[in-house]
Amino acid sequence: MDDVFLDTGPDLSVVFVLFGLLFAGVLIFIIVVAVRKWNVAKQAGYDPLTMDTQIAAQVGRSALLRPTDAVPERPSIEQRLAELDDLHARGVISDAEHTAARAKALEG
């Protein structure tokens, strides 16, 4: 009579086998992805174990991240006058515009 109660429960061996297969599948997937990432990093010239540090150092040395002067450098008066003379000689600005621009450049 005691055997009847023990046999009525669900068969857990199927659940354990399915869990084991799922666990093995996930483990294989993780290994395959890790190996592929390792190969891609090696082909790109990075050490896969220190790749994040190498990339961070590269980004830190990037010219795009260097601080720039907030105030752009103004051309000197000589440069500005030479530019105005060049524009006038090429006919881009008239005599009146040239005279007015020279006076403004000399004022400061």
Same domain, 85 and 52: no
Residues of the chain with pLDDT under 50: 1
Instruction: State the pLDDT at residue 36.
Output: 96
Query: Into how many domains does the chain fold?
Result: 2
Same domain, 48 and 82: no
Instruction: State the pLDDT at residue 5.
Output: 55
Instruction: State the pLDDT at residue 23.
Output: 97
Is the residue at 5 inside a domain?
Answer: no
Same domain, 55 and 94: no
Instruction: State the pLDDT at residue 38.
Output: 93
H-type alpha helices, the chain: 2-7, 12-43, 51-60, 77-89, 95-107
Domain span at residue 102 reads: 75-108
Instruction: State the pLDDT at residue 55.
Output: 87
Is the residue at 89 inside a domain?
Answer: yes
Is the residue at 70 inside a domain?
Answer: no
Same domain, 88 and 54: no
